[in-house]
Amino acid sequence: MTFADSDSVVERARCLFSRVALGVAICLLAAGVVLAEVGRPTESLVVLESGAVILLAIPILNAIAALLEEIGRRDWPFVAAGALVIGLVAYSVIDKIR
Amino acid sequence: MLTLALTLLVGVLAGGLGALLGVGGGVVLVPLIHAVLGRSFREAAAVSLVAVLATSASVAASTETRKLLNVRLALVLLIFSVSGATFGASVLHLLSEQTYERIFGITAAVIAVGMLQRLDKRNVRSASAVVDPGVLGGHFYDEDTRTEVYYHPRRLPIAMFASFGAGLLASFLGIGGGILVVPSLNSWCGVPMRVAAATSGFMIGITAIPGAIMHYHLGYLTDFRLAAAAALGVLIGYRLGISLGQRTPVRGLKILMAVMLAIVALRYLI
């Protein structure tokens, strides 16, 4: 079962989001490097961290999209698998933020 | 400025080789940042994880990959790779710099041997067709053979075990883990190489998250400029590698890569 088997709203949104988010992340990372080189370290750090956060968000949202696809198909074993994966990732993120 | 330019160049090299050889950029990026730029192994691994996230995002955004990615197989294997990564991240602070180097040396040696054993397998070749894809299988149109290829994954416990190991390596060493997942899916589980590479590309981003968060939390990611330059370089190199894929003598590159990895292994183990 591939993403291409489905032309759902979720899949179209996932694809569009991934492209836009990757583009934004690339721009932020490039801008952050330039800002650091022109002597703006504080602004540079904020911009670079924002780029890194977007890079972290892309795979998480892709996993959520895969979960939503399986919910739409009512294929509960794979819904459980997706929920478990997102739960594990959420645990590792929230545990460090606390 | 020179450091950033060097990092960008190292990223391009890592991303290009990763795309051409299907090994992931991290296994090239980490020793180069460590040896060429003189950064600590922990920092090199942290920088590499940001580059792994960028590569995975690029795979997820690709229209070509969308046709090949097996989401259900990825979800099942992610349970094991994310578990491995979470466990690896939780014991990260217990390992010394020397232990990291030893683990990387052993991994590099294993990858070098594996690469030499798979000299004639291209990253873009598909497996033969299978009629019944089953619940975890799938199908795709293969441009090379101009046929619809059906596949049915077998011996999944091997892929599950490899995925757990890939997660551990992602957290410990900053490498994506595709080097374990792709060959195991293709050689032992009967998944076509292109599907295995796309599925692994989707998995590595999610698998990298626990390690990336922990490296940041422990203060190993000290220079975001370096991480940004590496990520941008890997993205450029990955695109170049994909576009050069069909025209490049992969056999020669694999031998070169195996020799480089053997040198890296000797450097870290002796």
CB contact, 8 Å: B141 with chain A? no
Reported as a pLDDT band with limits 50, 70 and 90, residue A81 is very high
Q: How far is the C-alpha of B51 from the C-alpha of B247, rounded, in Å? A: 25
Averaged pLDDT for residues B3-23: 82
Reported as a pLDDT band with limits 50, 70 and 90, residue B141 is confident
CB contact, 8 Å: B196 with chain A? no
Instruction: Considering only the beta carbons, identify the residue of A1, A49, A93 that sits closest to B224.
Output: A49
**Confidence at residue A27, expressed as pLDDT on a 0 to 100 scale:** 95
**Confidence at residue A74, expressed as pLDDT on a 0 to 100 scale:** 87
Q: Taking all residues of chain A, what is their mean pLDDT, rounded to a whole number?
A: 87
Please state the separation of Cα B142 from the chain's center in Å.
23
| CB neighbour list of residue A79: distance below 8 Å, 6 or more residues apart | A67, A70, A71
Q: How far is the C-alpha of A81 from the C-alpha of A85, rounded, in Å? A: 6
Query: Would you call B86 and A44 a contact, using CB atoms and an 8 Å cutoff?
Result: no
Q: Taking all residues of chain B, what is their mean pLDDT, rounded to a whole number?
A: 83
**Confidence at residue A21, expressed as pLDDT on a 0 to 100 scale:** 93
Mutate to test the interface with B, among A38, A43, A88 (most CBs of B within 10 A): A88
Q: Which residues in chain A have their CB less than 8 angstroms from residue B223's CB?
A: none
pLDDT tens digits for A38-65? 988 889 999 999 999 999 999 999 999 9
Provide the percentage of residues in chain B whose pLDDT is more than 90: 23
Residue B127 has pLDDT above 60, yes or no: no
* Count of beta carbons in the 10 Å neighbourhood of residue B68: 26
Averaged pLDDT for residues B121-144: 64
Mutate to test the interface with A, among B76, B141, B224, B226 (most CBs of A within 10 A): B224
Instruction: Considering only the beta carbons, identify the residue of B69, B206, B231 that sits closest to A63.
Output: B206
Q: Which residues in chain A have their CB less than 8 angstroms from residue B60's CB?
A: 14, 18, 58-59, 62
**Confidence at residue B121, expressed as pLDDT on a 0 to 100 scale:** 60
Q: At what angle do helices B26-35 and B41-61 cross, to 10 degrees?
A: 150
Reported as a pLDDT band with limits 50, 70 and 90, residue B228 is very high
Mutate to test the interface with B, among A43, A53, A56, A61 (most CBs of B within 10 A): A56
**Confidence at residue B83, expressed as pLDDT on a 0 to 100 scale:** 95
Q: In terms of CA atoms, which chain A residue is nearest residue B134?
A: A1
Query: Would you call B57 and A22 a contact, using CB atoms and an 8 Å cutoff?
Result: yes
CA distance B59 to chain A (A): 9
Strand partners, B140: B149
Work out the burial of residue A29: count CB atoms within 10 Å of its CB; fewer than 13 is exposed, 13-18 middle, 19 or more buried: buried
Query: Would you call A92 and B209 a contact, using CB atoms and an 8 Å cutoff?
Result: yes
Reported as a pLDDT band with limits 50, 70 and 90, residue B213 is very high
